[in-house]
């Protein structure tokens, strides 16, 4: 037996308002007096009314849905970011659809085709692999999109990232000021702009101070590869005295290898700096010195930018970089002149 649903007309009758008023109450951005808002919502709650979002999308041409493409959730930064993005969009009356794709360009392309079929109002691409062909096709379709924590060299593509070059530079500067001379870099995926920029900033500061890196290896944001490369760094018995790791996800594996398998003391024998400052970085198990990617500010900027693009397709796109703050904990030997916690 099919259960009958409460209609907007029934809510309007109980609340003593017109049916269009009921529709406006549940339409984000519409203006309705506080008294009518209260009466309609009380009537809706009493009758168990739920607005028909499908019908509303047919009337407005908007689905009030945002598609988010992620490569994975193994990196805890993305679980935190997804939660913040979802909360921000909810505040603006939107809900999200999350799709996952591996770091294969053709698979990411296929997922975006699915999102287009669902008639999303906008797309956030947080996948590691984002092809130029894909972003060009989205531009051709006129679908607003923003790259989140991923960038491309093309300034016409909207993106929100951390200031990755400056973050890499700051990591090198801090370690050199702490007296380290043999600094290795376990880098993030060099096919991603983030990974390349963090490495470039690190190298720029090393060159500026007349130093050469002990070793650099691309571990592609993989815990398994970071763990293996850490063991290899010390295989000869003469390893680095500091390691800058491309993200916290890999840095946790580096710390485990150093402490549990190599029996080294962190930071007495070797200092470690990560990148992201996910919640786990502050756990006493890790207590990791790291560069903070401000997920809250990045999510706010991403939502604001995408909604502006949805409302005004002619708006100029922006590439926003948000400063990465150095958060100093116990995995580094700190410079003698370091004073202010969290800032260097």
For 168-212, the pLDDT digits (tens) are: 999 999 999 999 999 999 999 898 889 999 999 999 999 999 999
User: Does residue 3 register a pLDDT over 70?
Assistant: no
What region, left, alpha or beta, does residue 153 occupy, with left being phi > 0 and alpha being psi -120 to 50 degrees?
alpha
Task: Summarize pLDDT for 80-105 with one digit per residue, the tens.
Answer: 999 999 999 988 888 888 887 765 55
Radius of gyration from C-alpha coordinates of the chain: 25
Q: To the nearest whole number, what is the mean pLDDT of the chain? A: 86
pLDDT at residue 343, rounded to an integer: 46
SS3 assignment for 294-309: CHHHHHHHHHHHHHHH
Do domains 65-162+295-323 and 164-293 share one topology? The answer is yes
**pTM recorded for the entire structure:** 0.80
In the structure encoding, which two tokens stand for residue 151, read together?
A: 């960038």
Structural class in CATH, domain 164-293: alpha beta
Task: Return the domain boundaries, the chain.
Answer: 8-51, 65-162+295-323, 164-293
Residue 297 CB contacts under 8 Å (≥ 6 apart), including other chains: 322
pLDDT at residue 57, rounded to an integer: 54
- Residues paired with residue 326 on neighbouring β-strands, in sequence order: 291
* Res. 342 pLDDT band, cuts 50 70 90: very low
pLDDT at residue 58, rounded to an integer: 47
CA atoms lying within 13 Å on the CB side of residue 263: 2
C-alpha to C-alpha distance for 321 and 305, rounded to whole angstroms:
13
Least confident of 13-27, 127-141, 247-261: 127-141
C-alpha to C-alpha distance for 215 and 190, rounded to whole angstroms:
15
Task: Summarize pLDDT for 7-62 with one digit per residue, the tens.
Answer: 888 888 999 998 888 877 877 667 888 999 899 989 988 888 877 655 555 455 56
* H/E element, 68: strand 65-70
Mapping DSSP to helix (H, G, I), strand (E, B) and coil, where does residue 207 land?
helix
**65-162+295-323: CATH architecture:** 3-Layer(aba) Sandwich (3.40)
Residue 299 CB contacts under 8 Å (≥ 6 apart), including other chains: 81, 84, 85, 87, 88
């Amino acid at each position: 037996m099919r259960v009958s649903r409460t209609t907007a007309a029934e809510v309007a009758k109980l609340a003593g308002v017109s049916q269009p008023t009921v529709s406006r109450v549940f339409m984000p951005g519409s203006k309705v007096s506080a008294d009518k808002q209260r009466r309609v919502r009380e009537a809706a709650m009493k009758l168990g009314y739920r607005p028909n979002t499908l019908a509303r999308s047919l009337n407005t041409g908007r689905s009030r849905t945002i598609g988010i493409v992620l490569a994975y959730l193994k990196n805890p930064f993305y679980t935190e970011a997804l939660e913040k993005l979802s909360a921000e969009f909810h505040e603006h009356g939107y809900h999200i659809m999350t799709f996952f794709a591996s770091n294969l360009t053709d698979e990411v392309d296929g997922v975006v085709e699915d999102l287009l079929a669902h008639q999303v109002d906008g797309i956030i691409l947080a996948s590691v692999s984002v092809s130029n062909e894909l972003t060009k096709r989205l531009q051709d379709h006129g679908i607003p999109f923003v790259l989140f924590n991923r960038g491309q060299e093309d300034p016409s593509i909207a993106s929100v990232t951390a200031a990755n070059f400056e973050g890499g530079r700051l990591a090198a500067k801090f370690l050199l000021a702490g007296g380290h001379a043999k600094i290795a870099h376990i880098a993030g995926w060099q096919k991603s702009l983030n990974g390349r920029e963090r490495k470039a900033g690190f190298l720029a500061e090393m060159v500026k101070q007349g130093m050469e890196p002990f070793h650099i290896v691309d571990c592609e944001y993989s815990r398994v590869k970071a763990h293996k490369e850490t063991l290899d760094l010390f295989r000869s018995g003469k390893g680095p005295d500091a390691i800058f790791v491309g993200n916290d996800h890999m840095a946790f594996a580096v710390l485990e290898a150093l402490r549990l398998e190599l029996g080294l003391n962190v930071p007495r024998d070797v200092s470690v700096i990560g990148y992201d400052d996910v919640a786990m970085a502050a756990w006493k198990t890790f207590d990791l010195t790291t560069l903070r990617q401000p997920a809250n500010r990045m999510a706010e900027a991403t939502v604001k930018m995408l909604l502006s693009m949805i409302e005004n397709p002619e708006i100029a796109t922006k590439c926003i970089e948000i400063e990465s703050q150095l958060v100093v904990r116990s995995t580094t030997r700190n410079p003698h002149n370091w004073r202010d916690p969290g800032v260097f």
